[in-house]
Amino acid sequence: MPLHITIYSKYPLKCSEALCGHRRYSPRPQGGTKCGEILPIPMDCRLGNHNYIPGDVRSILSHGRTDGMYSYKKSLLDTGVFAVKLKTYNLCQNEKTKDFRKIQEKRKKKKETDDPEIEALSTRLWPPFGHPKEEINPGDIKVFTDLPISKKTLEGLKAHNFTTPTDIQRESLMFGLKGHDILGAAKTGSGKTLAFLIPILETLFKQRYTPSFGMAALVISPTRELAFQSYDVLKKIGKLHDLSFGLVTGGMHLREEAQRMHSTNVVICTPGRLLQHFEQTPNFTADELKILVLDEADRILHMGFKDTMNAILESLPKQRQTLLFSATQTKSVKDLARLSLKKPIYVSVHEKAKETTPATLDQRYIICEMQDKVNTLWSFLRSHRHKKILVFLSCCKQTRYLYQVLKKMHPGLTVLCLHGHMKQHQRMEVYHTFSRKQHAVLLATDVAARGLDFPVVNWVVQMDKPENTDTYIHRVGRTARYEKSGEALLVLLPSEEDKMVEDLRKRKIPIVKLKVSKKRVFDVTKKLESLCASEKEMKDNAQKAFLSVMKTLYVLDKASFQSVDVEAFAASLGLVQAPKLPFLEKSKKIGTVSKKEGLAGDQKVHMVAEEQEDEKESDGNTSTEDEDSDEDEEGEEKIRKDIKSNGPTLNFGVISDEDDENNDDEGKDDDGIYKVIKNVTVEPEILGHEKIELVEDGRSRKKKSRAKEKLKLLKYTKRVMFDEEGNVEKDDSEDEEQGLNIDAAKQRMRDQDKLDKEEQRKRIREMHREKRLKQKEKRRIAELEKRGQETEETEVILGSAHGENEIEDAVQDSDVETNDEDRNDIGSDQMNGSDDASSDSDEEPVPKRRRLEAEESDDDEEDTESDDEIDSEAEEDDEVVETQTIAREEEAVLALLGGNS
């Protein structure tokens, strides 16, 4: 059925405007159609460079604006439209004129202020014929004001303390401002974001863009967090411009975004979401695009995003400026051809640097068996409680499980996690919390590996080997950013060492080998076991984590996969028994099928993709030519000496108050902890990347795994056995096999509890003893001094020569009593957080308070965040208890004195 569209407008519209109006054309009040007039759609409708097909709804809606000037009665997605009916609002003449005047006045004012500046800037950048050419040498650029940048941008930069450009900004900005295509490469944390945001603002300013003009610049980022970060910086520095900025990432409301898209000048987005808008948002086109930026270009152009990016690039006009930035820039001709770059300028400021990673970054690695990783991580966190740490793990499920476990075990600092299976609002919350915190640990997958600029991260710990050296560079780049220092620790399996170290060496990444001091690694296996036994969800997650890690390892590195002691690794995650590895069976089957039938390349899928997040890519085929580097012989010699004299150790230890105190001293954490055993020096060589592909059909795998899950659930159904007399018998062996022997687990928990309490008691006893001795010593000295001054008469009053011994005995008795009470309360409160009636008395206010803390801390987020407070309160509590002990000692002394007298 033919369809009529009614378009309501404040002003009469011309037919061409209504049908195929260009967003850059403002509505004209004069002329146009009469209200209520029905117009047939002309067969050949043309305006400027744009051709519109009659009846194409997009062309009708393309005039859409969200600034209130037009509104449509209907938003139509139907085809077959052949006529439009235009209607004006029933506005009085005055209102029409007032509105229009306002707009005109604003434009006039803007023109007056901006035009001379735009002209001056343009002259500096592109001097007209006859004008002297201004050559700006990057070396001469000391401050941003030396560059032809608008006042609005300069003020925005200054307001956020950006006054001196970094190397990459100095080298690339002139090209960017002049409109060249750029391939920018610089170390992590060197300020690449401003190097592409400034040219965007300046180009749109010089072209007099306003929000109603629609999208003119696109920044594509690989992750939502990175997109948000760039959007945040853009908002800050572009605050004074009359431009609109929009963040378009997954996890937001598509419809709300769609409404704003038409009036957004700079869109910062992730590839998937952008494509969704191209496909689903009526009226959204990129016809007016002037600048395209690919942040982390090598990542965006490879594997995971390949098809999406190809589709996006097809929708973009070829006539545009393209800027590509990354710390590991692609030089692949194929990639560049896809982007239709025009004479791109390669700006690589650190290419000739001695090292690929920041000079202020200390890099070490340790060798650790799979089953020791959790203990190592725990011990590391306990000994770095006053640091901000980013821990990288290989897959989401492992990240989630370790996060749950660590939160329950309270390492003494805030525990957070970030991975691709989290909801968007949770991801953003974690991003902000970790940015804000001074001391925290963030467990993350590679979703946090690139671009994120968390302030002052002290440590980057890679618990699992990165896929390749590029990922390594980006991961460690989360610390030691912009003139700050940082430390990185890479944990390798013995089988991974040779290749990884060699790859790093080739890539000019200096790394030092350390050895772990086994003595100081705290064993938490039993705690994990208890947790798994007490909570089914925990156990399930442990199993999932186990399978996920094994699968990732299987796909990425078969040799390492085979070297893993599966049972020991499962036990280290708290599992009684190692779950079966179903993917081994599957891959065997698929292997035979693919051999027989010869699967085509596009039928093959990466098995690992299921385990890793949606946005993760496999190894790229970037190659980088490295320059010669001088070896630091002096440094090497020193290291050799160190090895001889000290021997290799890495001490984590540290679960005592003394350590806590030490940790307060920033920078002292690692003193004496690490000893160098090997220094990997870097040599220049061209890096070759390898690609691992495995075959399996994604859908059928998912179906199968769902069926398996159901089967697993069936297995959990309890089998009831009866003895000869018909009584129910308990089948312990089966429970144990399933990891469900609750009684045994409870017993294990109780044992562990006892051990923990004992340890705690010892510690407190030791601490009290030391303090008591000190106090006693002080008193004795005071006593001696006093005695020297006292008369013989006073000595007679004090009593016999046994007096002093009696006093000491009494004090010791009272000490013993007090300490026992303390021990019980502190032990039970700290370990169980349970109620203890005896601690309700007035004499014991401290444990009660702590118990309340413990109860409150059951709310997980709050819980970990208040850990530091709990720790410090615990110390205060100990002091209160100590004061009470001393008071009792004094009471005892007085009592004795009274008795004697």
Q: How far is the CB of 434 from ligand ATP (least distance, A)?
A: 14
- Range in contact with ligand ATP (rule: CB under 6 A) among 107-115, 192-200, 676-684, 734-742: 192-200
- CA torsion through residues 496, 498, 504, 510, sign: positive
Q: How far is the CB of 845 from ligand ATP (least distance, A)?
A: 46
- Range in contact with ligand ATP (rule: CB under 6 A) among 1-9, 55-63, 189-197, 690-698: 189-197
Tokens of 728: 């129910």
| 358 contacts ligand ATP (rule: CB under 6 A) | no
Say which residue the tokens 């001393």 belong to.
886
Nearest CA to 462 out of 326, 365, 351 is that of 365
Say which residue the tokens 């989630």 belong to.
400
User: Residue 12 or 451: which CB sits closer to ligand ATP?
Assistant: 451
Characterize the bridge pairing of strands 388-392 and 459-462: parallel
User: Residue 162 or 205: which CB sits closer to ligand ATP?
Assistant: 162
For 775-811, b where at least 16 C-beta lie within 10 A, e where not — what string? Answer: eeeebeeeeeeeeeeeeeeeeeeeeeeeeeeebbebb
User: Residue 64 or 451: which CB sits closer to ligand ATP?
Assistant: 451
- Range in contact with ligand ATP (rule: CB under 6 A) among 23-31, 432-440, 476-484, 889-897: 476-484
User: Residue 169 or 468: which CB sits closer to ligand ATP?
Assistant: 169
Q: How far is the CB of 301 from ligand ATP (least distance, A)?
A: 16
- Range in contact with ligand ATP (rule: CB under 6 A) among 29-37, 475-483, 641-649, 848-856: 475-483
Q: How far is the CB of 164 from ligand ATP (least distance, A)?
A: 6
| 346 contacts ligand ATP (rule: CB under 6 A) | no
| 481 contacts ligand ATP (rule: CB under 6 A) | yes
Q: Rounded CA gap, 849 and 14, in Å?
A: 76
| 79 contacts ligand ATP (rule: CB under 6 A) | no
User: Residue 147 or 854: which CB sits closer to ligand ATP?
Assistant: 147
User: Residue 84 or 177: which CB sits closer to ligand ATP?
Assistant: 177
Among 150, 193, 270, 357, binds ligand ATP (CB under 6 A): 193
What is the residue type of 750? R
Q: Rounded CA gap, 63 and 69, in Å?
A: 11
Residue 434 DSSP code: H
Among 192, 241, 302, 506, binds ligand ATP (CB under 6 A): 192
For 57-71, b where at least 16 C-beta lie within 10 A, e where not — what string? Answer: bbbbbbbbbbeebbe
Q: How far is the CB of 160 from ligand ATP (least distance, A)?
A: 8
| 188 contacts ligand ATP (rule: CB under 6 A) | yes
| 327 contacts ligand ATP (rule: CB under 6 A) | yes
Nearest CA to 679 out of 702, 648, 719 is that of 648
| 238 contacts ligand ATP (rule: CB under 6 A) | no
3-state secondary structure 552-581: HHHHHCHHHHHHCCHHHHHHHCCCCCCCCC
| 482 contacts ligand ATP (rule: CB under 6 A) | yes
Q: How far is the CB of 482 from ligand ATP (least distance, A)?
A: 3
| 329 contacts ligand ATP (rule: CB under 6 A) | no
Tokens of 336: 């560049």
Quote the radius of gyration of the chain (alpha carbons, Å): 35
The pair phi, psi for residue 267, each rounded to 5°, is: -105, 125
Write the burial class of residue 138 (CB in 10 Å: 0-12 exposed, 13-18 middle, 19+ buried).
Answer: middle
**From residue 404 to residue 443, what is the string marking binding to ligand ATP with x (rule CB under 6 A)?**
----------------------------------------
Beta strands in 397-492 (DSSP E): 414-418, 440-444, 459-462, 486-492
Q: How far is the CB of 227 from ligand ATP (least distance, A)?
A: 12
Tokens of 347: 């700006």
Beta strands in 412-562 (DSSP E): 414-418, 440-444, 459-462, 486-492, 511-514
The pair phi, psi for residue 602, each rounded to 5°, is: -75, -5
Residue 602 DSSP code: G
Q: How far is the CB of 544 from ligand ATP (least distance, A)?
A: 31
Say which residue the tokens 């159904």 belong to.
717
**From residue 155 to residue 174, what is the string marking binding to ligand ATP with x (rule CB under 6 A)?**
-------x-xxx--x-----
Among 453, 470, 617, 735, binds ligand ATP (CB under 6 A): 453
Q: How many chain residues bind ligand ATP (CB under 6 A)? A: 19
Q: How far is the CB of 187 from ligand ATP (least distance, A)?
A: 7
Q: How far is the CB of 705 from ligand ATP (least distance, A)?
A: 36
DSSP string, 650-686: B-----SHHHHHHHHSTT-TTTTTB-EEEEE------
User: Residue 32 or 451: which CB sits closer to ligand ATP?
Assistant: 451
| 191 contacts ligand ATP (rule: CB under 6 A) | yes
Q: Say which residues have a Cβ less than 8 Å from residue 241's Cβ, sequence separation at least 6.
A: 150, 152, 153, 156, 201, 204, 205
- Range in contact with ligand ATP (rule: CB under 6 A) among 181-189, 308-316, 343-351, 509-517: 181-189
Write the burial class of residue 707 (CB in 10 Å: 0-12 exposed, 13-18 middle, 19+ buried).
Answer: exposed
User: Residue 169 or 462: which CB sits closer to ligand ATP?
Assistant: 169
| 475 contacts ligand ATP (rule: CB under 6 A) | no
Which residues form the interface with ligand ATP (CB under 6 A)? 162, 164-166, 169, 186, 188-194, 327, 451, 453, 477, 481-482
